[in-house]
């Protein structure tokens, strides 16, 4: 029988302000905070976890504060990565309120109340500071006949 890794860690992504990612891990009721440079999110989130000796197989849940993930592109990249990890690992992913990031000391206790959910239910969607406006408007050309 293959060795099974116990999924006891909770990953928390607090904020991204290019290039700094504020995040943490809850392990057995103890919270550890990290702050790392991740200049390229499309290449950097999973290698960052590996550098800290964390593997997705160790995660029992993921929490993320969608309001603090920076701009449109960074929010989409971070959430796409985290939602995919949660879905593939069949673990819950939660959106946590921005206020939690001000009181990181009690985050282990707060996340403990969410342990009732043990599998992936739904993805976390991005929150933007303003409505996304990525469409290109075409200007009508005005002609004057003289």
Q: Which of 24, 30, 5 is nearest to 112 (CA)?
A: 30
Distances (CA, A) of 10 to 91, 108, 112: 10, 9, 10
Contact between 85 and 51 (Cβ < 8 Å): no
Q: For the segment 4-28, what is each residue's pLDDT rounded down to a tens digit?
A: 456 789 999 999 998 999 999 998 8
25-64 per-position pLDDT tens digit: 998 888 899 999 998 887 878 899 999 999 999 999 999 9
Distance from C-alpha of 80 to C-alpha of 83, rounded to nearest angstrom: 5
Domain 9-112 fold is Nucleotidyltransferase; domain 5 (3.30.420)
- Boundaries of every domain in the chain: 9-112
């Amino acid at each position: 029988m293959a060795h099974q890794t116990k999924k006891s860690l909770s990953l928390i992504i607090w904020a991204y302000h290019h290039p700094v990612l504020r995040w943490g891990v809850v392990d057995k009721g103890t919270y550890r905070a990290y702050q790392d440079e991740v200049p390229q999110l499309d290449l950097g989130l999973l290698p960052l976890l590996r550098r800290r000796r964390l593997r997705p197989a160790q995660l029992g849940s993921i929490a993320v504060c969608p309001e603090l993930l920076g701009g449109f592109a960074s929010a989409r990249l971070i959430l796409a990565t985290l939602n995919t990890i949660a879905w593939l690992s069949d673990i819950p992913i939660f959106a946590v309120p921005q206020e939690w990031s001000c009181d990181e000391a009690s985050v282990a206790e707060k996340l403990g109340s969410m342990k009732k959910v043990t599998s992936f239910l739904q993805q976390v969607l991005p929150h933007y500071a303003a409505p996304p406006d990525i469409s290109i408007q075409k200007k009508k050309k005005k002609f004057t006949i003289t």
